[in-house]
Amino acid sequence: MLRKYPLTLLMLLCTCFSACKKDIKAVGDADICLRNSTLSYQKKWAAIYTRIDNSDATATKKTVIIPAYGYFNINFNATYKLFGDTEPTEGLWSTDENCNFILKPVKGIQHTYRVKKLTPDSLVISERVGAVTTTLHFATFKCPDMNNLEYRWDNIETRTVDYDGLGVSNRQISYPAGYIKFNTDAGYELASNAFLFRGTWGIAQPDCNLVLDKGKRWEKTYIVQKLTADSLKLWYKDTVAKTNYLLVYKKH
C-alpha cells in the first residue's frame, strides 16, 4: 500500500490538472456578452478585414479573407452606422437575452452576431447563416495627427471597386502619375496625371475624417485608412457612382 499510494496520488493530481485545463480553455473560447462587459465598445471602430468560412455538404471548409475599409460606429443612444465596402447602413443595435448583438437597419434585413472578441483595441463579431460564417474584424479608430500628414505623398497605386446592396464587383488597380502635398498653412496641392488642383484641407471633428475644400461644391471626405512614417492610404466612397477608391501613397 505504501508503494502504491504515491502513484495513486499522482494520478489524482493529473486528473485534477486536466480538468482545470479544460475549464480554462472553455472560458477562453466563450462568446462575450456586451451587457456584462466593462470595456468601452460604444465608439468608432476601423474596419480591418472580413473572414468568410463556407462549409459544404461534405464538411469541407473554405476560407476567404478580404481586406475591409471604412468604419463601424456604435453609439450610446443605441444607434449605429456601418460605412464599409457595400451600401452604407444605419439603424438600431441591441443585445438580447442570449447575448446576441443585433443590428436592425433602417432598410434591409436584420443581422444577428456573436461577439467573439472585445479588447480596448479590437472588436470581432461573427454571424452564421446556413453554411456560411462571416466574421468582421475591427480596431479602435485613431484620429490622424495633422503634423504627420504635412508632406508630399506620391500616388503609387489606386484601387477601385464597384458595389451595390448585395456586395462588391469589378475590382480594378491603376497606377496613376501624381501626388498630393499637404502644406502647413492648411493648403494642399493635388496632381493627377495632367491635372493640378489646389485648395484647403483639414481633419474634421468628431469623425476625424480628412476633408478637402470644406464647404465647397466639390468638397470630398476621405478616411485615413493607414498612416505611417513613409506610407499613406486614403479611402473614399462615392455613393452616387457606387464606387470605392483606395489611394495608396508613399512619402516623397
Q: Are residues 136 and 162 in the same domain?
A: no
Question: Is the pLDDT assigned to residue 16 strictly greater than 60?
Answer: no
Q: What is the pLDDT of residues 176-221, one digit of tens each?
A: 899 999 999 999 999 988 899 999 999 998 889 999 999 999 999 9
Q: Tens digit of pLDDT for each residue in 122-143?
A: 999 999 999 999 999 999 999 9
Read off the pLDDT band of 14 (50, 70, 90).
very low
User: Does residue 68 fall inside a structural domain?
Assistant: yes
Q: How far apart are CA 34 and CA 119, in angstroms?
A: 12
User: Does residue 160 lie in a domain region?
Assistant: yes
CA distance 146 to 211: 12
Cα torsion through 102, 106, 107, 108, rounded to 10: 10
The verdict on whether omega for the bond into residue 176 sits within 30 degrees of 0, i.e. cis, is no
Please give the model's pTM, rounded to 2 decimal places: 0.80
Q: What is the mean pLDDT of the chain?
A: 86
**Is 28 part of a structural domain of the chain?**
no
Position 147 scores a pLDDT of: 94
Q: What is the CATH number of the domain that holds 92?
A: 2.40.128
What pLDDT score was predicted for residue 52?
94
The pLDDT > 90 percentage for the chain reads 68
Please determine, for residue 15, whether its predicted confidence score (pLDDT) is greater than 50: no
Query: What was the pLDDT predicted at 164?
Result: 85
pLDDT band at 168 (very low <50, low <70, confident <90, very high): confident
Residues 217 and 178 in one domain: yes
Query: Is 40 domain-assigned?
Result: yes
Please identify, among 82, 116, 140, the residue that sits at the C-terminal boundary of a domain: 140
Q: Report yes or no on 13 lying in a domain.
A: no
Q: Is the pLDDT of residue 243 over 90?
A: yes
CATH label of the domain that carries residue 186: 2.40.128.370
Q: What is the pLDDT of residues 91-106, one digit of tens each?
A: 999 999 899 999 999 9
Mean pLDDT for 10-30 is: 38
Which one of 93, 110, 140 terminates a domain?
A: 140
Q: What pLDDT score was predicted for residue 10?
A: 38
Cβ–Cβ under 8 Å, residues 95 and 34: yes
The parent domain of residue 192 ranges over: 146-251
Q: What is the model's pLDDT at position 5?
A: 42
Instruction: Give the closest residue to 171 by CA, choosing from 99, 66, 97, 80.
Output: 66
User: For residues 63 and 52, what is the distance between their CA atoms, to the nearest angstrom?
Assistant: 6
pLDDT band at 152 (very low <50, low <70, confident <90, very high): very high
Has residue 73 got a pLDDT over 80? yes
Contact 250, 230 (CB under 8 A): yes
pLDDT at 248 over 50: yes
pLDDT of residue 30: 67
- Examine residue 17 and state whether it is found in any structural domain, yes or no: no
Domain count for the chain:
2
More confidently predicted of 133 and 8: 133
Q: Do 166 and 246 lie in a common domain? A: yes
